[in-house]
A and B are shown apart, each in its own frame.
Chain A
Amino acid sequence: MSTSTLKSDLLSERDRALIVATQAGLPLVSDPWAELGKQLDMPADEVLARFQKMQDNGVIRRVAAVPDHYRLGYQFNGMTVWDVCDDAIARLGDQVGCLPFVSHCYQRPRHLPYWSYNLFAMVHGISRDEVEHKAAQIREVLGDACSGHTILYSSAILKKTGLRLKKQSGRS
């Protein structure tokens, strides 16, 4: 996805207020839009319409019940990183992204000689063995186009929050 489009001119003050009010989650009540409307001093139908518009224009990527995988029991989070031939990365990136156990898959730049990996695929497991087994399946998909890989296990989550727009006083 391109990072160049839209930006802040896409979001009005009222949209920003709605983002601040929902970034930790929607109210779990029968009519969440009315509840948000009360907080924001906005009619419920305007809240819903703004929310849907942000979905349509891609500011909201998705709306979901987002599980905490670590909490569910997937205690091993492996960021698998791969050095994939540039000619093949678009095709292979798609294939790796389609594996049912890959939660994120991105192409990122190499920084030679310090960092040679250009494909990132996040894998979760209840054990290291499970992560290794899944990484082996990715290795198979990549075949000869891959000339190196490693797995970076997370040892501690030091900070984790969603998008956080600060409440802004005065100017935007």
Chain B
Amino acid sequence: MRLDAADRQLIDRYQRHLPVCERPYQEMARELGLTEDEVIARLSRLQENQVLSRVGPVFEHSRAGASLLAAVAAPENQMDLVAARINRAPGVNHNYAREHAYNLWFVMTAPDEETLDERLDELEHQLQLPMLRLPMIEGYHIDLGFDIDWEALP
């Protein structure tokens, strides 16, 4: 989908932070020299087209609860089955297939560490596959996006 200059500006300028104030879209409009209605219309369209996954808060799981990245090596012919079981497990919010012996990578979340461990133990038992548990030890750059090279995009 082609985006015009104003769409690109909206993404470049607000993909990391947008103003949290009484009238956020009015403030963005002022900064970009657009009208508030236009900002709202553009954001709505970009969200409808799924160019924006959302306009809103990104929550810190460790503050709102607990989370952990885990991986399993599912036998090639059982991948769909294993993936479906992972997706159904309570607390799983991401699951990616990746090209590696460890071919399923997912994030498990829970209200607290104890529940998190219980959920992981339960899932590991259900899958009958050893699970690689990879908690974050340190975050050097946490999900802040990256500069988009518009010219290079198809």
| B residues 65-94 in Cβ contact with A at 8 Å | 65-66, 69, 83, 86-87, 92-94
Sample of 14 A–B contacts (CB below 8 Å)? A1-B139, A2-B62, A3-B66, A10-B63, A23-B57, A30-B36, A67-B11, A72-B153, A102-B146, A108-B136, A159-B87, A160-B94, A160-B95, A162-B53
**In which size bucket is the chain B interface?**
35 or more
Q: How large is the interface on A (under 10, 10 to 19, 20 to 34, 35 or more residues)?
A: 35 or more
Residues on B facing A (Cβ under 8 Å) = 1, 10-11, 14-18, 20, 22-26, 36, 40, 43-44, 46-47, 49-66, 69, 83, 86-87, 92-100, 102, 104-106, 109, 111-113, 130, 132-148, 152-154
* Contact surface of A with B, Cβ cutoff 8 Å: 1-3, 5-8, 10-11, 19, 22-26, 28-33, 48, 51-52, 54-55, 57-68, 71-74, 77, 79, 89-90, 93-94, 96-98, 100-109, 111, 114-115, 118, 124, 126, 130, 150, 152-165
Q: Which residues of A contact B112 (CB under 8 A)?
A: 7-8
Which residue on chain B has the smallest CB distance to residue A134? B146
Q: Nearest Cβ distance between residue B119 and chain A, in whole angstroms?
A: 14
Complex Cα–Cα for A73 and B1 (A): 9
Q: Does B87 lie within 8 Å of A109, measured CB to CB?
A: no
> Please, which residues of chain B bring their CB within 8 A of the CB of A72?
51, 148, 153
What's the minimum C-beta distance from A100 to chain B, rounded to whole angstroms?
5
Total residue contacts A-B, CB cutoff 8 A:
258
A29 to chain B, nearest CB (A): 7
Task: Establish whether residues B58 and A61, one from each chain, have CB atoms under 8 Å apart when the complex forms.
Answer: yes
- Nearest CB to that of B64 among chain A residues? A59
Contacts of B138 in A (CB 8 A): 89-90, 93, 106-107
- A102: chain B residues at CB < 8 Å are 141, 146
Cβ of A108 and Cβ of B96 under 8 Å apart? Answer: no
User: Which residue on chain B has the smallest CB distance to residue A115?
Assistant: B132
B59 touches A24 (CB 8 A): no
Q: Is the CB of B134 within 8 A of A108?
A: yes
Distance of B3 from chain A, by nearest CB (Å):
8
A66 touches B58 (CB 8 A): yes
The 7 closest A-B pairs by CB, nearest first: A97-B141, A97-B140, A25-B54, A25-B56, A93-B140, A159-B95, A3-B62
A147 to chain B, nearest CB (A): 18
In angstroms, Cα B112 to Cα A155, docked, is 31
- Is A164 a contact of B25 with CB atoms below 8 Å? no
Chain B proximity of A104: nearest CB distance (Å) = 5
